[in-house]
Structure 1
């Protein structure tokens, strides 16, 4: 743990079960938040623990508190045994964002999502414009692309190997099979093939940072391009050469610096300096 960052654990009651959350608090910020928190939304196989050291690094680099939570059915949140509805991405913003806001007591936040969490973050910014001061997407899907489906189909095959499921169970316990099925069976379902962010992107009116790796195995650069072009606000797009689907793990310091620069320079015409793309 970074020495200047204090971490706290939270349990949040919802009508459908209890959520597990953590908050990383910089020494310069105090509760109630003197700086807007950054709210992290995880990917389809993710959870708080799988963000690893990135939330603490992000809090240290930006000076903002960072909040991450396990969606219902993931990580240390309560289990669920139902299938995901096809509107589950929008539902996360409608049902759970207000509960997180009420629990942590922030008036406004910076909402950031990785992969499918990026789509959820888009919906949060669109549906709660008074509560979302900025939007950050990382490796987010904007629609269902052939590359997306191919990557997920390959992953489904790989998870038939016992060791792969055992590794996932370290983070999700007995919920691991549900987590994999919720991801693969939803995204590969014929009824989900027409899903996209096209209708909701124009409702986003806060500054937006879009991060995507050029070698992302679940989506080409069309996804970040559509997100950046679709929002009705200043959008900053960073394609990271040679990076795959998890930029915050592959180049954590670089990603944290991008976010820091974006938050400190909200006006257009302020490209990040070259040293952002180098480690110290």
Structure 2
């Protein structure tokens, strides 16, 4: 039985043996396509701010956001996270979330780690429900500047006010931060690379990146353009860092809305076989 389609923060879904918080906006999956939002490595449902509701109103799609285990008010994750935690999330959890929500046709919209998870899922799992990807600040391999930024975040968490800020959003704040930070700063993680998932994508992609993103350069976007076999659109934003949807909301939302509208028109077109 599909979960209750509501933005009541008390609601939970079950996936891979974990209880996860979720919220929904707009029409239910049997009435319209769904945008499924996958948050960043330190994100949660609440940290999307007003974007889910705005996208539901602008696109006519339903929107589902959930917090992965270890984040928000979801169950805690077991630490240390394995270095392939994004692949495990894609292959072991995401499909069960889509099943629990009764998703029929969807676009996966991911930010940072969430964009990586979305790409791995679409590139490795045969799921015809997934019709497109919106990838905000994705990463497919490590870069020296990104690893340096994560180490700096570790200092801010230990000595600054980052822990206090994150504790507003995460019940298990040390689990949320350390699970992310300790995986990325592990000596073996420098070799992490999941770019081969791009080779297997056969659905349209919108990739959005801030030119000043401290966690990833435009090389991540070039990797998509160089490897993908399906249509890809890119939006590169000047004077923008790691969170285009928060730093440059107007152009980011407009690009997402236009992408979804085009996908919807294509889905509705009648194809003549004569």
The TM-score normalised by the length of structure 1 is: 0.87
Structure 1, gaps ≥5 residues long: 1-5, 268-280
* Alignment: residue pair count: 257
Question: In structure 2, the residue corresponding to 1:265 is in which secondary structure?
Answer: helix
Of 130, 142, 152, which residue of structure 2 is paired with 1:144?
142
> In the alignment, is the contact (CA less than 8 A) between 1:90 and 1:123 conserved in 2?
yes
> What is the TM-score of this pair, normalised by structure 2?
0.89
Q: 1:18 corresponds to which residue? A: 19
Instruction: Write out aligned runs for 1:1-280 (5 A).
Output: 7-9=7-9, 10-25=11-26, 29=27, 31-126=28-123, 127-161=125-159, 163-173=161-171, 175-266=172-263
Compared CA separation, residues 237 and 57, structure 1 to 2 (3 A): same
Offset, 1:264: 2.1
Question: Does the 8 Å CA contact 1:229/1:235 hold for their aligned counterparts?
Answer: no
- Measured in 2, the distance between the counterparts of 1:240 and 1:86 equals 30
3-state SS in 1 of match to 2:92 = helix
Once the two structures are TM-superposed, the CA of residue 189 in structure 1 deviates from its matched residue by: 1.1
Matched-pair contact (CA < 8 Å) for 1:225–1:237: no
Q: Give 1:16 deviation, angstroms.
A: 3.4
Unpaired runs of 5+ residues, structure 2, are: 1-5, 265-274
Alpha-carbon distance between aligned partners in 2 of 1:12 and 1:19, rounded to the nearest angstrom = 5
Task: Work out whether residues 135 and 209 of structure 1, in 8 Å CA contact, stay in contact via their aligned partners in 2.
Answer: yes
Counterpart position of 1:276: none
CA distance in 1, matches of 2:195, 2:213: 21
CA offsets 1:173-226 (integer angstroms, 9 cap, x no match): 3x1112111111101112111112222111111000000000001111101111
Moved more, 224-233 or 63-72: 224-233
